[in-house]
Amino acid sequence: MQVRKLDRKIFTIELKGESSTLTQLINREMWDLGGEGAAIQEHPFIEEPKIVVESKNPKKLLERVAKRIQEQCDEFKNEFQKAMKK
């Protein structure tokens, strides 16, 4: 991951080795939390996916997004484990 800080309110993050699936998830959660930005991948075979984050505090917003995604993954894991016991 490479973070490029454009200014104090805008970050661009390049997610090396990831697919656009992750950037789309981050983007959706970011918008749900009131941030603005975009998931970008100019070419799937040449360029790494990127996400642009615009917020009063992009770092704090991304920390909230990461926590929310982790909570969703934990919830899915718990539900999956319950379903497998049946």
Please tell me the CATH code under which domain 2-85 is placed: 3.30.1360.10
In the chain, what are the domain boundaries? Answer: 2-85
13-22, 59-68, 71-80: least confident range: 13-22
Largest CA distance in the chain: 52
Instruction: DSSP letter for 9, please.
Output: T
Contact 41, 20 (CB under 8 A): yes
pLDDT of residue 5: 76
For 10-59, write each residue's pLDDT tens digit: 989 999 888 888 999 999 999 999 888 898 887 767 788 999 999 899 98
Retrieve residue 65's tokens.
């997004």
Would the pTM of this model clear 0.75, i.e. be above it? Answer: yes
